[in-house]
Amino acid sequence: MIHSKLNKRESLRNRIRTFKRKRLYTLWGESRWLIIGCFWVTAIILGYIGFYRYSIAIGERSTTLDLLYRAIQLTVFESGDVEGALPWQLEVARFLMPAVAGYAAIQAILAIYRDQWQIFRIRYHKNHLVLCGLGERGLKIAQEFLERGIRVVVIDADEENPLLRKIREQEAAVLIGDATDQDLLRKAGVHKAKYLIAVCADDGVNAEIALSARSLSHLRKNEALTVFVHILDPELCNQLSSWGLSASKTGLFRLEFFNIMERGARIMLSEHPPFFEEVEAENPPHIVLIGMGKIGNSLIMQAAKYWSMTKKDSRMQVTIVDGMAEAKIKLLQNFCPQINNYCNFNIHPLDFHLNPEQVDFLFTDEGSCRVNVIYICLDDDALALVSALKLYKTTHQYQLPLIVKMSRDAGLATLLAEDRIAMGFENIYSFGLLDRTCSFDAVTGGIYEVIAQAIHNEYVIEHQEKGETVEINPSIVEWCDLSEEFKESNRLQASHVEDKLASINCGLQLLTDWENYGFEFEPEEVEKLAQMEHERWCEEKTDRGWSYKAGPKNSKKKTNPALIPWTELDEGTKAFNRNNILKLPLILAKAGFQIYRK
């Protein structure tokens, strides 16, 4: 209860900071010099009028230049000390002019001693984010945290980085230097921060930053520092994550590794799957990948894993369009030989400027389309969109989905997302990589965000098989369209998985054996875990204001007949909970994890 109150209090403070930053600070930042200039001109005009009236009152004759000069002298208190009754214009001007000049002087001093001022401000930060490395990824992450009202301290080694000015304008504190330096991390307040995210361009530097932060963890008092380290190589990231799952989630330091390419491929496949559960083995899916870079490589790996879990005897057809497709496929097969058990690869070493006569491989001899979905994963956004539009001309009659990976949900991607139906491109879908993988929830959720999405996807499949529709059940939608309340409920369930597994001396690790991901629970373990999940669910519902009432569930009044102790549940509800535990290995496998006994 105390922890809940503290979270609510911190959330309120964050909302106030967000309002100040987005409304007040933004308005002031955009117009402050215009406002100061208006005050300055107003002060000069009032000073001029005031001195003019004062001169008439004392019988003194002054020229226009004399009056203007004396008005300007008010800036440094040179002409405001006069005797006798003063006109109100002069009274206002002799205080307004120095105030405006003082503000301008303070801003000039702060600009000169900017770094010292930043360090002074950071002393009062707590529960903030320390972001190391300000590239496109870092900028997006920083903006996401600032949107939530969370203070951000950026450390970057390049003083000439053009993004620094942009993030400073958004009220983030900036320190220039080597983020692996413990003294600089201490100045950034890492010992009082809630998060540290390392997104520099070098994997070794990111890892060293994490080690330096861990060395300072002894300075912390209560809450742990959660460190997220971006690793550019997806396979290295997977290997490090396997170690991180079991070795770095204790004490006052928690460590997670992530890769936006692997994460992006997983989300893309979740939202635009190449096949569905009911696909027949004699009619395997056929996907086309245009551009086999890092995200394309991850996409093929993830799709093959999903197909392996369907237990089909046939192989998925995968067509690769890339100038170096043959060499890249060989590297993939050497690294992961088991992929050959689930995929037949068709190679087309073409450039990405596809012409209609080059896409015959999409169709059968009878003229029907043999492909289920096309993923376009090129580094150049404009080229990716051009390729999609060219392909659309020859495939639109088949309603073939074209998924276009874009850098951001902006520019061309925004235009396509908002107007694709009006423009007649209803089968083209844009996927903004940075926006989808560097969001606040995606970064801070870590592995639990991935598991939460897998839990929801399984829920959607189960209820669709029962014949339910969105009209009957509004929660059977894609994750991106799910309400925040239901997302949070899935996250809470996901975050409790490791606690349940630990209670039966089991743990969680990355999925390495695609064929043996299953896990056999003992009957007493199923009973124990089902009871634990029911108790967790009851606590979650109670915290959200739900209560027990006999009869059907009432979402409006927040009543549910299942909000009772496990021993009082009917056998049907108990069986439902046991079945969810039995499905847990499959859900975790789809999220890329598997259960092991310690």
The CATH number that applies at residue 539 is 1.10.490.160
Number of Cβ atoms within 10 Å of the Cβ of 261? 22
Average pLDDT over residues 339-357: 79
- Is the pLDDT at 310 greater than 90? The verdict is no
- Within the chain, how many helices (H) and strands (E) appear? 22, 17
How confident is the model over 176-199, as pLDDT tens digits? 999 999 999 999 999 999 999 999
Structurally, the chain folds into a number of domains equal to 4
DSSP state of 21: I
Residues 429, 385 share a domain: yes
Average pLDDT over residues 293-305: 90
- Is the pLDDT at 504 greater than 90? The verdict is yes
DSSP state of 253: E
How confident is the model over 195-230, as pLDDT tens digits? 999 999 999 999 999 999 988 888 887 678 889 999
Higher pLDDT, 1 or 403: 403
Q: Shortest CA distance to 443 belongs to which of 194, 96, 247, 235? A: 194
Determine the Cα–Cα distance for residues 310 and 299; give it in Å rounded to an integer.
17
Task: State residue 280's pLDDT score.
Answer: 63
296 Ramachandran zone, left/alpha/beta (phi>0; psi -120 to 50): alpha
Q: Which residue, 228, 258, 288, sits at the end of a domain?
A: 258
Longest pairwise C-alpha distance within the chain: 108
Residues 560, 412 share a domain: no
- Is the pLDDT at 79 greater than 80? The verdict is no
> Considering the domain boundaries, does residue 1 fall inside one?
no
Number of Cβ atoms within 10 Å of the Cβ of 90? 24
Q: What is the pLDDT confidence band of residue 6, given thresholds at 50, 70 and 90?
A: very low
> Considering the domain boundaries, does residue 390 fall inside one?
yes
Q: Which residue, 243, 258, 273, sits at the end of a domain?
A: 258
> Considering the domain boundaries, does residue 41 fall inside one?
yes
Return the residue matching tokens 């600032």: 146
- Is the pLDDT at 1 greater than 50? The verdict is no
Residues 419, 360 share a domain: yes
Which has the minimum average pLDDT: 329-338, 351-360, 588-597? 351-360
Q: Which long-range contacts (CB under 8 A, 24 or more apart) does 497-501 make?
A: 497/451, 497/584, 497/588, 499/532, 500/529, 500/532, 500/533, 501/595
Higher pLDDT, 21 or 99: 99
Going from the C-alpha of 167 to that of each of 146, 401, 590, the distances in angstroms are: 10, 37, 37
Residues 231, 176 share a domain: yes
- Is the pLDDT at 5 greater than 70? The verdict is no
> Considering the domain boundaries, does residue 7 fall inside one?
no
Q: What is the pLDDT confidence band of residue 445, given thresholds at 50, 70 and 90?
A: confident
Residues 137, 105 share a domain: no
Instruction: Give DSSP secondary structure letters for 445-504.
Output: HHHHHHHHHHHHHHHHHHHHHTT--TTT-TT-S-GGGS-HHHHHHHHHHHHTHHHHHHHT
Average pLDDT over residues 293-316: 86
Q: Hey, what are 283's tokens?
A: 């009619």
Strands 195-198 and 129-132: parallel
Backbone φ and ψ for 249, nearest 5 degrees, come out as: -120, 40
Contact (Cβ atoms closer than 8 angstroms) between residue 349 and residue 322: yes
Average pLDDT over residues 497-523: 87
Residues 284, 187 share a domain: no
Written as one letter, the residue type at 395 is T
Average pLDDT over residues 365-391: 87
Q: Shortest CA distance to 317 belongs to which of 331, 303, 330? A: 303
Residues 348, 307 share a domain: yes
Q: Shortest CA distance to 245 belongs to which of 550, 497, 580? A: 497
DSSP state of 20: I
> Considering the domain boundaries, does residue 466 fall inside one?
no
Residues 72, 138 share a domain: no
Q: Which residue, 398, 419, 438, sits at the end of a domain?
A: 438
- Is the pLDDT at 19 greater than 60? The verdict is no
Q: How far is CA 361 from the centre of its chain?
A: 37
Residues 402, 364 share a domain: yes
Strands (E), 392-477: 402-406, 428-432
How confident is the model over 457-497, as pLDDT tens digits? 888 888 888 888 888 888 888 887 888 888 889 989 998 99
Write out the residue range of the structural domain in which residue 126 sits: 115-258
- Is the pLDDT at 324 greater than 80? The verdict is yes
How confident is the model over 105-151, as pLDDT tens digits? 887 776 666 667 777 788 888 889 999 999 999 999 999 999 888 99
Residues 320, 254 share a domain: no
Residues 180, 136 share a domain: yes
DSSP state of 369: B
The CATH number that applies at residue 323 is 3.40.50.720
Residues 6+ apart with CB under 8 A from 301: 265, 332, 336, 339
Q: What is the pLDDT confidence band of residue 4, given thresholds at 50, 70 and 90?
A: very low
H/E run at residue 469: none
Residues 417, 271 share a domain: yes
Which has the minimum average pLDDT: 316-320, 524-528, 588-592? 588-592
> Considering the domain boundaries, does residue 484 fall inside one?
no
Q: What is the pLDDT confidence band of residue 3, given thresholds at 50, 70 and 90?
A: very low
Determine the Cα–Cα distance for residues 425 and 392; give it in Å rounded to an integer.
8
How confident is the model over 404-435, as pLDDT tens digits? 998 877 655 555 555 555 556 778 888 989 98
> Considering the domain boundaries, does residue 22 fall inside one?
no
